[in-house]
Amino acid sequence: MDDKLEPGLYIVATPIGNLSDLAPRAAAILAGADLIAVEDSRVTAKLLRHIGARRPMIPYHDHNADKVRPGLIARMAAEAVALVSDAGTPLISDPGYKLVRDARAAGVKVTTIPGPSAVIAALTLAGLPTDRFAFLGFLPSKAGARATAIADAAAFDGTLVFYESGPRLGGALAALRDGLGRRDAAVVREISKAFEETVTGTLAALADRYAEAPPKGEIVIVVGPPGEAAPADEAAIDAALAEALTRLSPSRAAAEVAAALGVPRRLAYERAQTLK
């Protein structure tokens, strides 16, 4: 940049895949910043090499944020400090919001340089309604907490977006199937990279696909809103379960009825246990 940046905090979105996705303004800010707060210096160094720049960096992440934050804010009074994550828009599923909050409280100027976001990119690829959506980050790893989080999300009448890792994908999809019933969904991975992939289908079909074959890469799960059809009433569920229980165990009967009637598997299993 020809002109020195004004002191303050600059929130800079970085590529989630192809380095050429870095916006020209974002590149100029990174090249002109007095200091860059980074998630991983190795990742940001690669991006800086791509634009032909070398700038001082300081680690800023979950493990050191409370310790580093006061010093960063003090420097912002006289220096331009850029905040980046390893990929995408900072503050989305990372601790950056506390830095923004405290910088504003200290009277520091805060500017955002918008750009790539895996949430938005996945929504554009999924082919599901985007007029109303909720981003819920990573589901809890423990089964009980995960089921509770999904039950809470089920009340939202819109599209749901989650982040997930390859090894956990099959379990997450199975839990979403059990908790949300029959819904359309998409698994989007490696966005803006050479092996970008979007796989669509019902939650049940996707859970089956990835049960024994976890994929690699960064993954976003997009789940469509509840269907337009009226849900089956309790009498219909009970009738279907009563028939299924003559042939199957309660868990398998619940799975069959949940898929057939489009009701959450957890609800069907609870009714099956009562009927049994």
Closest CA to 230 of 253, 205, 201, 263: 263
> One digit per residue, pLDDT tens: the chain, 276 residues?
457 999 999 999 999 999 999 999 999 999 999 999 999 999 999 999 999 999 999 999 989 999 999 999 999 999 999 999 999 999 987 778 999 999 999 999 999 999 999 999 999 999 999 999 999 999 999 999 999 999 999 889 899 999 999 999 999 999 999 899 889 999 999 999 999 999 999 999 999 999 988 998 889 999 999 874 456 678 888 888 998 899 889 888 888 888 777 777 788 888 898 888
Backbone dihedral angles phi then psi of residue 16, each to the nearest 5 degrees:
-100, 0
Question: Can you spell out the DSSP letters for 48-87?
Answer: HHHTT----EEE-STTTHHHHHHHHHHHHTTSEEEE--SS
Q: What is the pTM of this model?
A: 0.81
Q: How buried is residue 86: exposed, middle or buried, by Cβ count under 10 Å (0-12/13-18/19+)?
A: middle
Q: Do 190 and 218 touch, CB atoms closer than 8 A?
A: yes
Q: Do 231 and 262 touch, CB atoms closer than 8 A?
A: yes
> Which helix (H) or strand (E) covers residue 164, if one does?
strand 159-164
Closest CA to 16 of 26, 7, 6, 2: 26
